[in-house]
């Protein structure tokens, strides 16, 4: 309960900073507690990094957010619904998220997919950069669990199945000559 109150205070502070700058959200001015999954007014994603002294600071990354997400600070409800960690450093790695099936199921949940476009856009962008498709990974995760037993982890190439050898057909008898 106390963390929700603290988050609310930090969110109000972030909005106040944005209002004071004429509505501009600048990653470097965000407190570390609201930095993760935010998008600057310029459309670039904010990332949490460590200073040489070991303190957390918010920085602007080179990765852009989807259209319409500029000036976005992710909500606490989406952080919970999508199973993400706002305190994680840098950008997420989609293949690592796919390995953690519990977190990945939260990311693929209806609550996350339908209610948190910023998070879905970020993970879809990162997955695409890694040569994967977030919708396909989510579909595989939601698929028949019995079929998935013994499968390779998501994102790992799997060899195509090999068909059993087929016996050569018997030679046809020679035509009869009369």
Tens of pLDDT, residues 77-117: 999 999 999 889 888 877 776 677 777 889 999 999 999 99
**Cα–Cα distance for residue pair 159/170, rounded to 1 Å:** 32
Residue 173 confidence (pLDDT) above 90: no
Element (H, E) at 19: helix 2-20
What is the per-residue pLDDT for 172? 52
User: Helix axis angle, 134-142 relative to 117-129, nearest 10°?
Assistant: 100
Q: Give me the residue spans of the domains in the chain.
A: 13-143
Mean pLDDT confidence for 56-64: 94
- Distance separating alpha carbons of residues 161 and 88, to the nearest angstrom: 38
pLDDT at 126 over 70: yes
Mean pLDDT, range 37-53, rounded to an integer: 95
Query: Is pLDDT of 52 > 50?
Result: yes
DSSP code for 29: G
- DSSP H or E run through 98: helix 94-99
Q: What is the DSSP letter of 22?
A: T
Average pLDDT over the chain reads 75
How far is the first Cα of the chain from the last one, in angstroms, to the nearest whole number?
100
pTM of this prediction?
0.65
9-44: buried (b, 16+ CB within 10 Å) or exposed (e) per residue? ebbeebeebbeeeeeebebebbeebbbbbbbbbebb
Q: 42 to each of 46, 72, 152, how far by Cα in Å? A: 11, 10, 40
- Supply the pLDDT for residue 170: 54
Region 7-17 average pLDDT: 41
- How do residues 136-170 score in pLDDT, each as one tens digit? 988 887 763 433 333 334 444 433 333 334 444 45
Query: Is the CB of residue 151 less than 8 Å from the CB of residue 126?
Result: no
CA distance 1 to 4: 5
């Amino acid at each position: 309960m106390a963390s929700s109150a603290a988050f609310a205070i930090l969110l109000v502070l972030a909005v106040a900073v944005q209002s004071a700058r004429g509505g501009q959200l600048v990653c470097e001015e965000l407190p570390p507690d609201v930095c993760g999954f935010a998008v600057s007014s310029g459309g670039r994603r904010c990332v949490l990094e460590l200073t040489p002294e070991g303190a957390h600071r918010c920085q602007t990354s080179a990765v852009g957010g989807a259209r319409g997400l500029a000036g976005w600070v992710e909500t606490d409800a989406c952080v919970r619904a999508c199973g993400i960690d706002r305190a994680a450093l840098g950008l997420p790695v989609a293949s690592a998220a796919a390995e953690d099936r519990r977190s990945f199921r939260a990311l693929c949940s209806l609550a996350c997919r339908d209610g948190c476009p910023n998070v879905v856009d970020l993970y879809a962008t990162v997955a695409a950069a890694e040569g994967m498709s977030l919708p396909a990974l989510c579909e595989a995760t939601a698929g028949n669990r019995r079929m998935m037993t013994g499968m390779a982890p998501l994102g790992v190439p799997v060899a195509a199945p090999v068909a059993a050898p087929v016996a050569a057909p018997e030679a046809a008898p020679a035509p009869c000559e009369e």
